[in-house]
Structure 1
C-alpha cells in the first residue's frame, strides 16, 4: 500500500512498482485502464474551530478571497485537462491568496492548527472529530471529485493482482472504462 499524489502514484505505476493506483479526478488517464469508483469525495475548507469561518455551515468562493489558503498542489495545477477546482472559483481563481501548497493533507492540517491558513481539501482526509481543534466546512455550490482505480494498459499481472482486478471489475462492472 502506498499513499501519494497523482504524480507519485503514476510514476510508480509507470515504473512497475505498483500494480494499481487510486487517482482523484480530474487526472490524466490517457496511459491507463481504469474503473470509475461510484463514490464521490466532497471538497471543502479545513480550519481551526475558533476561526471566523467556522461559524458558517458552508463556504462560498467569496469567503476565501481575502484569507490565507493552503491548497493541494494537484488541485491547483493548471493542466490541459479540465480543472473543476479552478472552475469552481471562476475568474476569482487568480485572486486567491495561496500562501503555500501541500502534497500530504496531514501536513496541511498541521499548518492550519498553527494558524498559517485555511486548507482546501477533501472531507474525511484529516481528523476533524470532536477531539480535534479543526473542523471541515463544505464548499457551496458543492464541489465533488470522483475516484478512479487505474493500472497500466497491457499490464501483465501476477495471479494475486489478476484476481484482485477481476474482483474490482465485478464489483464496479457498470463503471468500467478499459480496453
Structure 2
C-alpha cells in the first residue's frame, strides 16, 4: 500500500464524499475513484459504501483510518527528525500519566526548549496499556509511568518523587471528616477504582483482603471524569493526591494509612533510535 494512496483514502474518509476529496487533493474524480478501487482490491476488503449523499466507512475502513493516521504521523515525525540531522530541532513525543511528577518532564523540556527553541513536544494521555503499545510501536519516545507497571523490557529512570494514594471524597461524605483513611473506614461506601489491574492489586494489598469485599460501583481511566461523579456525591474515588485541585471546590482528598505510595518512572524502548531532539532530552533528564 502506497503512502500516497493511504492519504487519498484518509482524505475521502474526512470529506465524506469522493467529489470533495478530489477537490481537496486536486485530482479528478475518475482518477481518485480508480486509486480507491485498486486499494480495495489490494486489501481485499470493502473500505466504504457509497450512499446517496455521502460515503459510509465500514468497520475495516475505520480500522484503516485509525492506523493510517498513526502511520502518517510516524512518517511525518521521522521525516522531520531525519531532515534536522545537523541541528537540535524536531519533535519529542511523550506519553504522560496523571501524576504531579509530570512537572519533571515539563521543567526539563522548558530548559531544553529555551536552548533549542525549534524543538516541539507532543503529549499523549491515555490508558497505560494503550500508551505502552505506542512505545512498543515507536509512536512515542518516552512514557511517564506510575508503579506498579512491567518495566523489564524497557530502559528507564526512577524519579526521586513518589505519588501518594488516598481517596477523593465529596465534602458532604462522612469520610471527608477524617484526617486519614484506614481500610475499615471505606467499608460500604461506593467507590470508583482505576481500571488498571496492577494498581488494583496494590490497593488490595493495602486493604488486606480482596477488592470484592468493598463496594466498587465503577472504574475510571482518567481521574477528571471520575471527579465529576465525586462532586455529585455518587461515589468516592481511590486516586493519587494532587491530580484534582480541591481548593475552592466541594472535594477533599484524604490520604491512606498506612501510607500507600507509588514510584514514578520515565521509560523508553530498549535500543530505541532517537532523533537529535529526543537524544538531547534523554541526555538532559539522565544528567540530573
- Distance, in Å, in 2 between the alignment partners of 1:19 and 1:60 is 39
- Residue 234 (structure 2) aligned to one of 95, 116, 122: 116
Post-superposition Cα deviations, 1:24-65, rounded to whole Å, max 9, x if no partner, equal 100011221110011001000001112111010001110112
- 1:19 corresponds to: 141
- Cα deviation, 1:97-131, whole Å, max 9, x if unaligned, reads 110000010011011112221100000011211x1
Contact 2:182 2:256 in 1 (8 A): yes
Q: Which of 132, 143, 147 is the equivalent residue of 2:249?
A: 132
Aligned partners of 1:78 and 1:17: how far apart in 2? 24
Query: TM-score, length-normalised on structure 2?
Result: 0.56
The worse-fitting range, judged by mean Cα deviation, of 8-17 and 25-34 is: 8-17
Match of 2:170 in 1: 48
Alignment of 1:1-179 (within 5 A): 1-74=123-196, 77=197, 83-129=201-247, 131-171=248-288
Tell me the SS of whatever aligns to 1:108.
helix
- Higher-Rg member (1/2): 2
Kindly indicate whether the alpha-carbon contact (under 8 Å) linking 2:149 and 2:198 is maintained by their aligned counterparts in 1. no
Q: Identify if the C-alpha distance between structure 1 residues 78 and 145 changes in structure 2 by more than 3 Å, giving closer, same or farther.
A: closer
Q: CA deviation at 1:9?
A: 1.6
Query: What secondary structure does 1:121 align onto?
Result: strand
Counting matched residue pairs gives 166
Alpha-carbon distance, 1:78 to partner: 5.2
Distance 1:170 1:117 in 2: 43
TM-score using structure 1 length: 0.88
Greater fraction helix: 2
Larger CA deviation: 91-100 vs 136-145: 91-100
**2:131 match: secondary structure:** helix
Structure number having the greater strand percentage:
1
Secondary structure class of the residue paired with 2:254 = strand
Match of 1:176 in 2: none
Greater length-normalized contact order (CA 8 Å, ≥ 6 residues apart): 1
CA RMSD of aligned residues (A): 1.5
**Whole-Å Cα distance in 2 between the matches of residues 62 and 100 of structure 1?**
20
Structure 1 unaligned residues grouped into runs of 5+: 172-179
